[in-house]
Structure 1
Amino acid sequence: MFRLTVCLLTYNSARLLRDVLTPLMRIADEIIVIDSGSTDDTLSIHEEYGITPIYNPYTMHGEQMNMAISHASNDWVLCMDSDEILDDETLKYILRLKSGDEPPADRGWCLSRYWYVLGEQTRTLYPISSPDYPLRLFNRHHVRFNHRPVDDKATGAAQVTRIPGHVRHDTFYSLHEVFSKLNIYTTRVVKYQNLRPPIARGVASAVGAFFKWYLFSGAWRRGKVGAVTGLYATLYSFMKYFKAWYQHQDKRESAARERTDSHLID
């Protein structure tokens, strides 16, 4: 038998937080919450559950998760986001796992996570196919999250087992959130990755994404939700290169102005 710390990230998460916390309370011996500055009812909901979040300004998802893990009192941790809801099958599996012998420290377990967009289950959301199986339950001395700016993941487990069930990942609940996260994610990619800036590359990437993630994936059959996920993939693929191109042009213009100012001074 082993004790389990749940590590949870929140930011303006009041919409789903009670649905997220209620099942987690059944399996957690300890809950560590890292909050990055919520201004809605998130903090008062935590108070209802007797939880005192730790404030940390958001940089990247992996860094937030690693901070939560570092505060855990137990070796075994389950890492969750505030839009992921565990079902009964997943809970029962984890409870059975906890009641047995403590597993080898290099073992890990991944969730069966199903993606929902605008309240409907979807098969694809660029660059993910649903369900996906992120490693989330592991020994904190062997596993940490990497530092990818988008789509980071936990790495380090030697053997990974899939937990059965249907974890609802209720992301992108409104069009506003779709475009807000599209802007945030593409800006973050440009900031932390060295993208080649030719804008033609962005056009080609967007065309390829449209065919792959809207037509070939069958998203076109899903009506408005399929249109949203197809548009998201197309715009994401274009905008990251457009922003890299724009940033490159801005730097070139700034350098040119500095050279001009230098010649005028001379």
Structure 2
Amino acid sequence: MLSLLFVPLQGFYTKQTHKRAKLEMKHKVSAVLIVMNEAAILENTLRALQWCDEIVVVDSGSTDGTVALCEQYGCKVFYKAFEGFGEQKRFAVAQAEHEWILSIDADEVLSEGLQTEIQAALAQPHIAEAGFYLPRTLIFWGEKIRSEYKVPCLRLFHRQKGEVTPDKVHETIKVSGEIGSFKNPIWHDSYRSIHDYFHKFNKYTTLAAQEIFHKKKGKGKWLIVVRLPITFCQLFFLRGCFLNGFGGFMWSLFSAFYPVVKYIKVLELERKAAKEKPN
């Protein structure tokens, strides 16, 4: 029954059963994705990218039919063992043929309005911007989460003016030059169940902790202790998640746990390193 609560996107966009009319674009674009066992959610993402000049997918060893699904939608599929999200995406960009790069995650679906906006921008003879922000809205427990509503994410960029950072997790795109923005959203449908949420939670906090540990940027224990209630109150009250009801409460609570668990894992790594250090 729990999984039935995680089918939110059906109510937020119209399912596309055929290719939409494509605007004549003067600048070609490559959509790039990294995947690993995403067959259950990937089809909606690929449908919304059919107007792109190519779709480049980097797989890290899927066993659930993800690769076959990508090939069905005409994607160019490459394999690379997972070395962190940043490195996977940098590899994907390197395989792309075109100058403009649209970086999308497997759990994101471009709204029809956003597809039209991007095509219109790429139809201009000259594009002054080095990149564009795409507003991303998280769908969780059937709600558009207030704290994650139309958060600007830099996802469309000119490859000669920008690049993906090599961070293991929470990688970003950096560009040199002017950045434009669009109005219509990407629907971010990231979690199929609570179990799926904590599976990703554990993976991301571990990768983030490893990166923080290697950079020697850990936090003191008391800062970790006070972080949870402060983060919860910021999200639930100040950023309006209480308006999302129980779904907003869960998102605020889980999000408040994230930095706490991340820095506890850093402490664990520091304790392990201290024990292994020769006297």
TM-score for both structures, normalised by structure 1: 0.86
The question of 1:113 aligning with 2:149 is answered no
Match for residue 102 of structure 2 among 61, 78, 81: 78
Is the 1:62–1:145 Cα contact (8 Å) retained in structure 2? yes
Alignment-derived partner of residue 182 in structure 2 = 163
Q: Does 1:184 align with 2:203?
A: yes
Superposition pairs of residues 157-236 of structure 1, within 5 angstroms: 157-193=176-212, 194-196=216-218, 198-236=220-258
User: Conserved in 2, the CA contact under 8 Å of 1:6 and 1:79?
Assistant: yes
Q: How does 1:18-57 map to 2 (within 5 A)?
A: 18-26=43-51, 28-57=52-81
Is the counterpart of residue 132 in structure 1 residue 151 in structure 2?
yes
Structure 1 contact 138–157 (Cα < 8 Å) conserved: no
- 2:19 is matched with which residue? none
Match of 2:7 in 1: none
Name the CA distance, whole Å, in 1 between partners of 2:169 and 2:235.
Answer: 18
* Amino acid of the structure 1 residue aligned with 2:67: L
User: Which position in structure 1 is the counterpart of 2:145?
Assistant: 122
- d(CA) in 2 for partners of 1:147, 1:51: 24
Residues 202 and 240 of structure 1 are in contact (CA less than 8 Å); yes or no, is this contact kept in structure 2? no
Cα distance in 1 between the residues matched to 2:107 and 2:169: 16
Letter of the 1:72 partner, please give it: A
- CA-atom RMSD in angstroms: 1.9
Distance in 2 of aligned mates of 1:107 and 1:251: 43
Contact 2:54 2:75 (8 Å CA) reproduced:
no
CA distance, structure 1, for counterparts of residue 184 and residue 162 of structure 2: 23
What's the secondary structure of 2:166's corresponding residue? coil
Q: Distance in 2 between matches of 1:196 and 1:50?
A: 44
What amino acid is the match of 1:213? L
Hey, what does 2:161 align to over in structure 1?
142
Q: Read off the aligned partner of 2:103 and give its amino acid letter.
A: C
For structure 2, the residue ranges without an aligned partner over 5 or more in a row are: 1-25
Partners of 2:59 and 2:78 within 8 A in 1? yes
Displacement of 1:224 in angstroms is 2.8
Alignment match, 1:264? none
**Contact 1:118 1:171 (C-alpha < 8 Å) held by counterparts:** no
Question: Hey, what's the Cα distance between the residues in 2 that align with 1:198 and 1:94?
Answer: 44
2:20 alignment partner in structure 1: none
Do structure 1's residue 69 and structure 2's residue 93 form an aligned pair? yes
Q: Which has the larger radius of gyration?
A: 1
Provide the C-alpha distance between the structure 2 equivalents of 1:111 and 1:224, rounded to a whole number of angstroms: 28
Q: How does 1:241-256 map to 2 (within 5 A)?
A: 241-255=263-277
Question: Offset at 1:165?
Answer: 0.9
Task: Give the corresponding residue for 2:32.
Answer: 7
Alpha-carbon distance in 2 for matches of 1:54, 1:224: 41
User: Identity of paired residues, percent?
Assistant: 26
